[in-house]
Homo-oligomer: A and B are copies of this chain.
Amino acid sequence: MNITIIGLGLIGGSMALLLRGLPGVQRIIGVDHENAHGKQALNGGLVDEMMDLEDAISVCDVIILAIPVDAIKNILPTILNIVDTQVIMDVGSTKAVICKTVQDHRNRGLFVASHPMWGTEFSGPSAATKLAFAGKAAVICDQVNSSHAAIGIVEKIYKFLGMHIVYMSSEEHDLHAAYVSHVSHITSFALANTVLEKEREDNNIFELASGGFESTVRLAKSHAEMWVPIFVQNRLNVLDVLNEHVEQLNKFKSCLVNEDFEELARLIAHANTIKRILK
């Protein structure tokens, strides 16, 4: 089995590193519109060779789309036009718009919409790591629209990566992702900008920054070229959650304004129950 990975960033690069060990895999082929990424991926031993999109598709059995979600939306119909029996999976952070784009395509059954719930704030082939994915959830969406054979191959890949598989509709996925991933990024971006604004008046503002600050703004290092398309495609869900988050922040603000410290303690105690979820 030959695997073509389109996009050799954090996710595609890490999959390249790991899937080399999947029983039955002969060649890992890379496609990346950035030549520098291709060279890094070859030098780093992530892929056996780099090819043009059409050549890479013609010689492979499985195609993994690991590019920003706007690029997935644009390229997926073209790929479905030219595949024959190849299975295509994407790993994008949004699912509904992508699934809608190809819902009536004659080759829809060859495509599996998925999202491995792993990532870091780093990007590019140099961020690729064998420590990726294991222990996290991989979501497969709208599985009734994919062929049994295609689902079987994608399940095999995620299980080999050490992930457990969760099935849901693409709409459910996008709502859940807004809550547990997309809004975290906005709060990090906004917190970074809050402190950076202050720094304009006060050069030494970061002198005291410690681990707590770092973990809260870590995601603010994430790139616009990946995240703007996510916010475009999941705009309404993200807006809903953002409105709720601002409401929750306003509850804290009211406690401070009104010096209602009993209610403040209650809000914090409620937040503490998140322990149940986190390790």
Contacts and interface: CB of A to CB of B under 8 A. Distances in A.
Interface string A166-208: 1000000101110111011111111111111110001011111
A190 B245 contact: yes
A218 interface: yes
Given A188-B271, A274-B217, A211 B119 contact: yes
Contact of A181 (B173, B213, B222): B213
A235 B231 CA distance: 34
A265 interface: yes
A130 interface: no
B272 A223 contact: yes
B208 A215 contact: no
Interface residues of A, number: 91
Contact of A189 (B212, B239, B267): B267
Nearest to A198: B179
Contact of A118 (B117, B210, B238, B253): B210
A217 to B, nearest CB: 6
